[in-house]
Structure 1
Amino acid sequence: MKALCWQGMNRLSVERVPDPGILNAQDAVVKVRLSTTCGSDLHLLGGYIPAMRAGDVIGHEFLGEIVEIGPEVRKHRVGDRVVVCSSIGCGRCWYCSHDLWSLCDNSNPDPEVAQTLLGYEPGGVYGYSHAMGGFKGGHAEYVRVPFADHGAFPVPDGVDDQSALFASDAAPAGWMGAHLGGVGPGDVVAVWGCGAVGQMAARAATLLGADRVIAIDRHPERLAMVERHIGAEAIDYSGTDVDAELRERTGGRGPDVCIEAVGMEADSVGPQQMYDQVKQQLRLEVDRPVAVREAVRACRKGGSVFVLGAFSGTVDRFPLGAMMNKGLTVRSARQHGQRYIPMLLRLMAKGELVTSHLATHSMPLDEAPGGYDLFRARKDGCVRAVFRPES
């Protein structure tokens, strides 16, 4: 089959790789109809995620049709149209039973790598390094789906493929940030990043009752998109002091909930950008945490900060004093999609959650390396590139 393979830093190619098959009784094989890029994939290209090997198939957001099931799969049949959660959970360990699906104890078959890096191993992820299990990713014609009863979700008839695709990762990640960040009626919420996950976090905050949602980015087309499709206010951080602007918009108090949806390669303006870039390139710090710093400093006293962006290691100049003295609640997680995906698909079916606008560019899988170039450089207003294995 065809698949998009990581070949080294900033090198991708479409190659022929072996077709997947049933390895365990709870597996399914899905024929991919659509897959999409994600900002966290760019960290793979930049060489910031360890334990990648040449030839690894990448991509963790995909939708397709089940073509084969193992003997212990109970909830699915061949022919079902399903969206697959990017995080893999077994459904029976302590973490899965407590709705902490991305922390699954049984879905990472190569835990030693992650234990060395992180202290504990998280659950598996499709196409995201051998530290996360070494699973083949979704930018392919077919994908093996372990624990299919817990990771694949039927798409309602009224929801088109392009909309449902974003229930794989972007929509549940954004919803989790708003939900576990504690957004409630009357809150003012600030979201750093207007990519797909940031936009979904902003929409989730509105649906959870926030009085105002303010989104922060520097790309005009993304700021316009979040105003038009999400109904949030927008701040261009390249033209203003974000902290001062947020204080002015909140009567001097600051947002109740701050959601960081940028990750380890966050950009900024001024000396801190050069400081972080130099230290990251020299590997004196692994991640650039400028958006996290801003969120901690901007959040009101006693407020909540949720870190949604992908991080892999250490950061410098974290404002621990501000966090402690302001009495902030700071949480983070890789998305627990199984907890949210069925509900999100129902919202899509009712028209309350719109995601199709995120797919700004669509192309055959054969053109995926160019699609990532477009996505990485944000050319032509690209928010997400979507790939079709069948062209």
Structure 2
Amino acid sequence: MRALCWEGVNELAVEEVPDPQLQNKQDMIIKVKLSATCGSDLHLVDGYIPAMRAGDVIGHEFLGEVVETGPEVRKHRVGDRVVVCSVIACGRCWFCEQGLFSCCDNGNTNPGIPEMMWGQSPAGIFGYSHAMGGFKGSHAEYVRVPYADRGAFTVPDGVDDATALFASDAAPTGYMGADLGEVKAGDVVAVWGAGGVGQMAAQSAMLKGAARVIVIDRFDYRLDMAAHHLGVETLNYEETDIDGELRERSDGRGPDVCIEAVGMEAHTPNPVAYRWEQLKQQTRVLELDRPHALRQAIMVCRKGGMVYVLGVFAGWIDKFPMGALMNKGLTMRSAQQHGERYIPMLLERMSRGEFKTAHLMTHPMPLSEGARGYDLFKHKKDGCVRAVFYPDGDGRVTRG
């Protein structure tokens, strides 16, 4: 089969790779219908995630059709249309029983790498390096899905492909930020990042009753999309004093909840500071992650507020404002997404028209154009919010 492979830093290519095979009784094989780019993929492309090998298939947000099941798969049959959680969890360990699916003890088949890096191993993730299990990714014609009854979900008949696709990762990740960020009615919520996850976090905050939701970014086309489709307020941080404006919009206190949806390659409007942090990150010694958005979220959050980190970080950061976190009495939480907890509810909301996602798919294209899709996505060309790949010759992308 054909798949989009990582061949080195900033090198992607569509190649012939072996077809996936059932390896365990709970496995399932999916014929991919749609597979989306994600901002966290750019950390792989840019070489900041360790344990990548030439020829690794990338991609983790996908929807497809069941073509083969293992003997212990009970919930799915050949022909079912399913969306698959990007996080691979067993559903039976202590962490899964607590609903902490991305902390699963059994989903990562290479636990030694993250244990060395982080002290303990999280769950596996499709197409996200050998540190996260070395699983083949979704930018391919077929994918093997481990623990299929736990991680795959049948799509309701009334939900189109373009909507259901983002129930795989962007929607549950964003919803988790609002849920575990404890957004409640009347809150002022600020979200850093107007990409797919940031927009989903903003929409989720609104569904939870936030009085004001303010999305922060530097690309007007992404801010305009969030305002148009979700009805949120927006701020361009290159044109606005973010601290002052957020205080103005929150009765002088600062936001109740700050959600960071940018991650380890955050931009800063100060060109000297930005270049300096880039250089430190590229040494892989002085600093591994650029945390500008996270630092700003901590500094502007109101006293006693909540900071939730959705953006992906891999290592250590410099100039972390621990003094502000402690003295302001902030709570900070984070996780890879616990998608198995949220996907059924989100699909139900999608079927009722209560959760919008299809607008994120700005650039559908055949899998053979995968490298071009990532170029558009990475460099923010042509208004690209998400490039989405479908098997060549199958341009049937259904939208509501």
Report the TM-score when normalising by structure 1. 0.99
The equivalences for 1:45-194 within 5 A come to: 45-194=45-194
Asked whether the equivalents of residues 287 and 316 of structure 2 are also in contact (C-alpha less than 8 Å), the reply is yes
The residue type paired with residue 280 of structure 1 is Q
Alignment of 1:1-391 (within 5 A): 1-270=1-270, 271-283=272-284, 284-391=286-393
Contact 1:5 1:57 in 2 (8 A): yes
Structure 1 residue identity aligned to 2:279: V
Helix, strand or coil: the match of 1:22?
Answer: coil
Q: Share of identical aligned residues, percent?
A: 67
For residue 340 of structure 1, give the secondary structure of its aligned residue in structure 2. helix
Alpha-carbon deviations, 1:171-226, whole Å to 9, x = none? 00000000000100000000000000000000000001101100000101011011
Conservation of the 8 A alpha-carbon contact between 1:364 and 1:389: yes
Structure 1 unaligned blocks of 5 or more: none
The Cα of 1:145 is off from its aligned counterpart by: 0.2
What 5-or-longer segments of structure 2 have no aligned partner?
394-400
SS in 2 for 1:96: helix
Contact preservation (8 Å) 2:189, 2:214 = yes
Amino acid at match of 1:332: S
Instruction: Supply the AA of the counterpart residue of 1:97.
Output: E
Preserved contact between residue 262 and residue 310 of structure 2 (Cα < 8 Å): yes
| Structure 2 counterpart SS, 1:252 | coil
What number of residue pairs does the alignment pair up?
A: 391
For 1:167 and 1:340, locate their aligned partners in 2 and report how far apart those are by CA, in whole Å: 9
Amino acid at match of 1:66: V
The RMSD of aligned alpha carbons is 0.7
Conserved in 1, the CA contact under 8 Å of 2:368 and 2:392?
Answer: no
Deviation at 1:272, TM superposition (A): 2.9
CA distance in structure 2 between the aligned counterparts of 1:259 and 1:348, rounded to whole angstroms: 23
**C-alpha distance in structure 2 between counterparts of 1:387 and 1:315, whole Å:** 34
1: distance between equivalents of 2:365 and 2:275?
Answer: 35
> Hey, what's the Cα distance between the residues in 1 that align with 2:342 and 2:318?
33
Q: Is the 8 A contact 1:287 1:314 kept in 2?
A: yes
Farther off after superposition, 245-254 or 360-369? 245-254
C-alpha deviation, 1:278, in angstroms: 2.0
Q: Distance in 1 between matches of 2:296 and 2:132?
A: 29
Cα offsets for 1:106-150 (capped at 9, x unmatched): 111111111111111111000000000000000000000000000
8 Å CA contact retained: 1:33, 1:390: no
C-alpha separation in 1, matches of 2:345 and 2:157: 15
In the alignment, the residues of structure 1 paired with residue 49 and residue 382 of structure 2 have an alpha-carbon distance, to the nearest angstrom, of 27
Segment drifting more, 245-254 vs 6-15: 245-254
